A and B are shown apart, each in its own frame.
Chain A
Amino acid sequence: MTRSELGREAFVLGFSLLVAMAAGSLLVLLLGESPARVYGLLLSSTWGDAYGVGQVLFKATPLVFTGLSVALAFRAGLFNIGAEGQMMLGGLAAALVGAALPVETCAWLALPLAVLAAAAAGALWGAIPGALRAFLGAHEVINTIMLNFVASALVLGLGHRVFLPETTHTALVVEGARLPSLGLAGSAANLSFVLALGAALAVWGFLSRSRRGFELRALGLSPGAAEGAGVRVRATLVAALAAAGALAGLVGCNFVLGYKHYYEEGMGRGAGFMGIAVALLGRGHPLGVVLAAVLLGTLSHGGVAINALVPKELVDVLQAVIILAVAASSAVFSHQVRRSGP
């Protein structure tokens, strides 16, 4: 990325945040509240103390995973709208495997097994639209959306069999399969955040330092050229969506292995769709994804605090406006740059 491109991205982001803040202020004023007070509370409740920081990291963790998921698929020229369903099944799989292990299983065995289960379930759910796209030419956007609904029906249906009686959650996972807390003033932040940072590093390394990663990017930039250069298009398409699904499946670590220690119906709802926003804000770069996830995690936790002044749905509106503004302004600016070029 050249310097001028970087400047343009920064401008787009800054502009979009301003638009969102302006729209948010308007909604706050409608209620007769002071925007400065609301935004002040939003900041002090998130970055003001250790507990707030911990909660932000906890909320940011699933967004890092789903953001990476969308970004990785996007680099291959694919739209993964299915992170929502992939993470649902990943969470359920981690909980079921974690609870099925013998009680005395040591962490060195139990943790990898549970984490792998989450990734595998997500990968399977991602590979389906990948294969449909690669072999039958079916549009992955529609298929991933449809599979979100199928996943949620599946979880509800399986729920009758695997949830504890009279509850909507599974049994507790064994001690060995639990991820330790980060210990930030009793917040829910756990080792999953570190795992998420590791995943971001791995995706970055894969995309920019490996042959397969190069092939994946080539496919995304120009399918025809990639095929001509010998990239196995079908295998790469399936692998890209499977890897994206695995990343989304890992969201299960945060809630199931690191926080509640069981899977609950509706857990983390919406994080899959927000992954699209995170990937867009992060401009498809793993480091950008982490920063964007922390930003949206701040909004998400801040919403709880500002609920005292204005409805917490304000942050949902802010998030949506940020996405719209980024999508619009990046289109406008990239178009202008291209026009003024040779």
Chain B
Amino acid sequence: MSDFFLSLMGLAFWLQVVRISVPYALAALGGVTSERSGVIDLALEGKLLFGAFAAAWVADLGSSVWLGALAGAAAGVLVALLYGYLVIRLRADQIITGVAINLLAFGLTRYLLKLVYGSTSSSPPTPGFEGGLAANPLLWLLLLVVLVWPVLFYRTRFGLRLRAAGEHPEAVASVGVSVPRIRWMAVGLSGLLAGLGGAWLALDNHGFTAEMSGGRGYIALAALIMGKWRPLPAVLACLLFGFAETCQLHLQAVDVGVPNELVRSLPYLLTMVALAGFIGRSRAPAALGRPAPADGDRPWTGGGNDRPAPDAAREP
């Protein structure tokens, strides 16, 4: 037990917290971007998984970590394009499509794993991050994104339109701005960031393991809700979850009287508490999950928007 408190003091502990939190933070920032534009982002898990596979594969092929990271981002964007086509262009249900994309990611990455490496469980060791955490440019890129995102959200025209598209798409459309275009960009950015998050997983692990995302996409989703759909608080929530996970890793060996299952469930329970409004109201964007008014629809007839909004996205 005292060993645990000693390790809390060490730098190694905190570096591990950061390492664990990075994929959460990248995915959560992506999720915030997509959801603030009005598109539910349950597909984060799938984007992480595809990103991880592409990163490991290309890093292996090109024996380059950076090609791998690039491939991870590209894979995330590709998945986002498929998702965007289905839910923005064809207006498919966002919850069902998101869950199905995750199922597709689980199946297809395992299929490809067998196809490429002839293995059911993992790829052979591939190139990955070497040296210390501070020498990792991807970490600095994330820090840059963390600093830039609030500015992008609250200080730019794009950010204003993005938030408006998630709150009141008809208002955005009525001033001649295309809601679908904003949402395409938001969904694409989400794919880029989540794909990078997946790449981090694979490159940090020096290889791809089947189902290696292990629910991280859902934790990122939990973090963005904890952060009340705002970029900076969402990243802080990721750090909190990363901290909880690191503690759990260190506590596994010692019996502390706190049931391990409780520690493991903490992020999920905290999310439920946040959503229930016990730590300040966590409110989703008003138009979350609602298709955009179609370009050219007459606004007074409701256009393509006559489908009732999933009132889940609203307050009662």
Contact = CB atoms under 8 A, between A and B. Distances in A.
A109 B103 CA distance: 40
A311 B265 contact: no
A332 B262 CA distance: 44
Given A146-B222, A317-B104, A319-B103, A328 B97 contact: yes
A335 B304 contact: yes
B217 to A, nearest CB: 10
Given A146-B272, A156-B261, A316-B103, A331 B93 contact: yes
B108 interface: yes
Contacts of B316: 137
A27 B104 contact: no
Contacts of A35: none
Contacts of B111: 27, 311, 313-314, 316-317
B295 interface: no
A327 B96 contact: yes
Given A31-B115, A137-B316, A327-B100, A223 B86 contact: no
B276 to A, nearest CB: 4
Contact of B265 (A139, A154, A222, A317): A154
A140 B284 CA distance: 13
A290 interface: no
B77 interface: no
A153 B264 contact: yes
B218 A145 contact: yes
B114 A311 contact: yes
Nearest to B120: A311
Given A157-B261, A313-B111, A328 B92 contact: yes
Given A311-B114, A320-B107, A331 B90 contact: yes
Nearest to A145: B218
B110 interface: yes
Contacts of A223: 311
B221 to A, nearest CB: 7
Contacts of A315: 107
A318 B100 CA distance: 11
B19 interface: no
A157 B260 contact: yes
Given A146-B222, A316-B106, A332-B90, A157 B259 contact: yes
Given A27-B111, A141-B312, A146-B222, A327 B103 contact: no
Interface string B274-316: 0111000000100000000000000000001010101111011
B99 interface: yes
Contacts of A330: 92
B250 interface: no
B272 A143 contact: yes
B272 to A, nearest CB: 5
B104 A149 contact: no
A3 interface: no
Interface stretch (A174-182, A258-266, A272-280): A272-280
A330 B100 CA distance: 15
B139 interface: no
B75 interface: no
A79 interface: yes
A141 B310 CA distance: 11
Interface string B18-61: 00000000000000000000000010000000000000000000
Contacts of B310: 79
B225 A142 contact: yes
Interface in B99-136: 99-101, 103-104, 106-108, 110-111, 114-115, 120
B86 A320 contact: no
Contact of A317 (B91, B108, B269, B272): B108
Interface in A310-342: 311, 313-317, 319-321, 323-324, 327-328, 330-332, 335, 338
Interface string B235-267: 000000000000000000000000111101100
Given A141-B312, A313-B114, A316-B110, A335 B218 contact: no
A260 to B, nearest CB: 23
B95 A150 contact: no
Given A145-B218, A313-B111, A136 B271 contact: no
A6 interface: no
Contacts of B100: 277, 320, 323-324, 327
Interface string A153-184: 11011100000000000000000000000000
B96 A276 contact: yes
A29 to B, nearest CB: 12
B115 A311 contact: yes
B272 A138 contact: yes
Nearest to B99: A276
Nearest to B313: A139
Given A139-B284, A142-B221, 18 more contacts: A77-B311, A79-B310, A133-B312, A138-B275, A139-B312, A143-B272, A146-B268, A146-B271, A146-B272, A149-B268, A150-B268, A153-B261, A157-B261, A222-B308, A315-B107, A316-B108, A331-B90, A331-B92
28 contacts: A30-B115, A31-B115, A79-B312, A142-B222, A146-B218, A146-B271, A147-B268, A150-B268, A153-B262, A156-B264, A276-B96, A311-B114, A311-B120, A313-B107, A313-B108, A313-B110, A316-B106, A317-B111, A320-B100, A320-B101, A320-B107, A321-B104, A327-B86, A327-B97, A328-B86, A331-B90, A331-B91, A338-B306
Interface of A: 27, 30-31, 77-79, 81, 132-133, 136-143, 145-147, 149-150, 153-154, 156-158, 222-223, 273, 276-277, 280, 311, 313-317, 319-321, 323-324, 327-328, 330-332, 335, 338
